[in-house]
Amino acid sequence: MAKYESQIKQVPYTQSAVYAKISDLTNLAVIKERFDDPNVQAQMPADKIEEIRGAVQQMEFTTDTVTAPAGPIGTIAVQIVEREPEKCVKFASTNSPVSFKLWIQVLPISDTASKMKVTIDADLNIFMKQMVGPHLQKGVNKFADMLAMIPYE
């Protein structure tokens, strides 16, 4: 297994508000709407915006699962496998060429703010780790960035 952790992100919302949003994946469908925000697009490579828009628009959300296109490898699906109220949501891949677990931890900073970290633990052999490891690290950081931009109201 290979573990990749995001940078810790501060979020200007309470721990309970963040947990409530991430523990029901239908709440994350806001990603589709936020994508068209010029500030969000400014953080992406200009030549990739349309490609990313297409992928984002194809994402599907239920209370416990999210399914997303993953380019040439097909579709990836993850499912919530454990909820630790207000602290952590754990996921496992259900449709992926590589088995992985992902978790989002949320901790309070104050009465009005919290911090979060995303961790992925993927079942990679040494060869795969060298090939995709840097991409997974980059991806986990981008995922944490995206989560930090969501309104948790």
**Rounded CA gap, 115 and 149, in Å?**
12
Q: Which domain holds residue 28?
A: 2-149
- Is the pLDDT assigned to residue 30 strictly greater than 80? no
Q: Provide the pLDDT for residue 44.
A: 67
pLDDT digits (tens, 9 = 90+) for 92-127: 999 888 889 999 999 999 999 999 999 999 999 898
Tell me the average pLDDT of the chain.
Answer: 87
Q: Provide the pLDDT for residue 100.
A: 92
Q: Quick one: tokens of 27?
A: 């709440």
Q: Provide the pLDDT for residue 116.
A: 97
**Rounded CA gap, 77 and 34, in Å?**
21
* Span 135-142, average pLDDT: 89
Q: Provide the pLDDT for residue 135.
A: 87
Considering its fold, how many domains does the chain have in total? 1
* Span 40-62, average pLDDT: 72
Q: Provide the pLDDT for residue 49.
A: 65
Q: Provide the pLDDT for residue 22.
A: 93
Q: Provide the pLDDT for residue 91.
A: 96
Q: What one-letter code names the amino acid at 71?
A: G
CATH number at residue 44: 3.30.530.20
pTM above the 0.85 mark? no
Q: How far is residue 24 from each of residues 55, 66, 89, 137, measured CA to CA in Å?
A: 21, 10, 10, 25
Q: With pLDDT > 90 as the criterion, what percentage of the chain qualifies?
A: 48
Is residue 151 left, alpha or beta, with left meaning phi > 0 and alpha meaning psi from -120 to 50? beta
